[in-house]
Amino acid sequence: MKERKPRFTSLSGIEIHRLYGPDDLKDWTPERELGVPGEFPYTRGIYPTMYRGRLWTMRQFAGFGSAEDTNRRFHYLLEHGQNGLSVAFDMPTLMGLDADDPLARGEVGRCGVSISSLSDMERLFEGIPLDHVTTSMTINGPATVIFAMYLAVAEKRGIPFDRLGGTLQNDILKEYIAQKEWLFPPEPSLRLVTDVVAYCAQSVPRWHPISISGYHIREAGATAVQELAFTLYDGLTYVEAAVKAGLAVDQFALRLSFFFNVHNDFFEEIAKFRAARRLWAREMARRYQPKDPRSLQLRCHAQTAGCSLTAQQPLNNVVRTTVQALAAVLGGTQSLHTNSMDETLALPTEEAVRLALRTQQIIAEESEVTNTVDPLGGSYYVEALTNRLEEEAQAYFRKLDEMGGMVAAIERGFPQREILEASHRYQREIEGKERTIVGVNRYVEQEERPIPILKIDPEVEQRQVARLSELRKSRDPFKMAGAVAALQEAVACGENVMPPLIEAVKAQATLGEICAALKEVLGTYREPVVL
């Protein structure tokens, strides 16, 4: 029978054979490539029992409007079975701007929660036991400042830092590569990341100081291969920076975490997670020879692909998200966020968020896919894909090594250009109907029923601006100015930035004021032209 297409490929462009068998795994041995769960090279999972012992953390990304608005959503999610918080910040906060900055006008609370001061952070976590709930914060350029605010809230409540658990994204390299929300040049930004790593190793031992993110790299148009390669190489770059700063690899490596996208190519995504664990373990062992085996383990959070969702026929997004979430589970993620069906239109409604959470709960409690570890292990197709993804990621590693590392590659525009070309290829395939997007280029409906969407009240911005005005009137200006000056001096002298940062936020210095002061010492950055 004639096949439907002349050529079948994965979303990364890997040619897919009609059938897979022993010939596709000629040099493959189960002992070397698979092992057993919980043991090197961790292909089958980082824990011996995986989901038979403990399910993944269900962590819905949430944040909109004011701190009070998001606080109510957090309580709602916890009441409906979520067991970890994940904070989305608005664009001004991501860019280190206060809500009353002229550049923030019209954006306050729109794509996440608005946080400008320690007072905002206190309202954000009102009534939430920080020592019993893990918190993930998606913040990068001003990550140190936001983390200092979180620690100051805990300190004010009398919670010891060693009882805090959570994750700070704090991945600045992927900002230069993909998301474009940086504040300082690459080298000083790496120094700030390393300061957080060192501070957590000493004072906040249960905290993950970096979540090395492939998610945004994939959202920018990268293939699964590029996401795998650039993300893991970013991770190795952070390890190298920490080691050069005098930290032993076993002091911090076991607290590093990763954050992957989960796209529509079901088997490629499963293979990507398996290849990531194996490749990370092998590269860490080869480059740094840690003594603690936990330093070789890749722990990851996953989020279903926002870039795969469509504004057309938004109910279809429920199906896409379900397929993607199942791939993440079969791939062995430790934590998962499922996107809501309405996220291409607006921030999700409570109903849409609840359905996204229920998607995870049905997979966990009803599908029975959690009964055995790595159920697809040994599949000729999955193992061949895992090998191929690892091999192609290693080819990128060699190129990046030859360029002198990721910072040098970023300054030359190499990863940016690779992603740009991949995104153009994918878009051409959609426009040429080589790839089907249901409801977009096939099975299109002329009239669609609208769904409810969440709208942010303009009064949110007005209230935030008024609060900042009151804060500046009521605080001790000399105490605040002294704390900021001490911060600048500490940064200029090469001291760890976290202790003076905590003092600055406690003195009610705002996010924008602190970031502006740091720019005076660390400088600013303009990216290279890649076209």
Average pLDDT, the chain: 94
* pLDDT number for residue 346: 82
Residue with tokens 């031992």: 205
- Encode pLDDT of 433-456 as tens digits: 999 999 999 999 988 888 887 787
Instruction: Evaluate the omega torsion of the peptide bond into residue 129 and state whether it is cis, within 30 degrees of 0.
Output: no
Residues 31, 116: Cα–Cα separation, whole Å: 53
Buried b (16+ CB within 10 A) or exposed e, 467-497: bbeebbeebeeeebeebbebbbebbeeeebb
pLDDT over 80 at 530, yes or no: no
Closest C-alpha to 476, from 441, 454, 504: 504
Radius of gyration of the chain (CA): 23
* Whether 113 contacts 161, CB under 8 Å: no
- Encode pLDDT of 41-94 as tens digits: 999 999 999 999 999 988 777 788 899 999 998 898 888 887 778 899 999 999
How many CB atoms lie under 10 A from the CB of residue 250?
A: 15
300 SS3 class: strand
Residues 517, 513: Cα–Cα separation, whole Å: 6
Residues 82, 76: Cα–Cα separation, whole Å: 9
- Encode pLDDT of 221-250 as tens digits: 999 999 999 999 999 999 999 999 999 999
Count Cβ atoms within 10 A of the Cβ of residue 531 and give its class: 0-12 exposed, 13-18 middle, 19 or more buried. exposed
* pLDDT number for residue 50: 97
CA within 13 Å, CB half, 471: 23
pLDDT over 80 at 529, yes or no: no
- Encode pLDDT of 159-184 as tens digits: 999 999 999 999 999 999 999 999 99
* Tokens encoding 508: 């009610």
Residues 359, 102: Cα–Cα separation, whole Å: 41
Residues 407, 186: Cα–Cα separation, whole Å: 7
CA torsion through residues 422, 416, 405, 332, sign:
negative
Cα distances (Å, whole numbers) of residue 452 to 112, 157, 342, 349, 443 = 19, 39, 8, 8, 23
Residues 310, 145: Cα–Cα separation, whole Å: 35
- Encode pLDDT of 129-153 as tens digits: 999 989 989 999 999 999 999 999 9
Residues 58, 361: Cα–Cα separation, whole Å: 8
Per-residue pLDDT averaged across 202-218, rounded?
A: 96
* pLDDT number for residue 1: 82
Residues 264, 317: Cα–Cα separation, whole Å: 11
Q: What band does 271 get if pLDDT is binned at 50, 70 and 90?
A: very high
What order do you get walking across the sheet with 166-168 strand by strand? 61-62, 85-88, 135-138, 166-168, 207-208
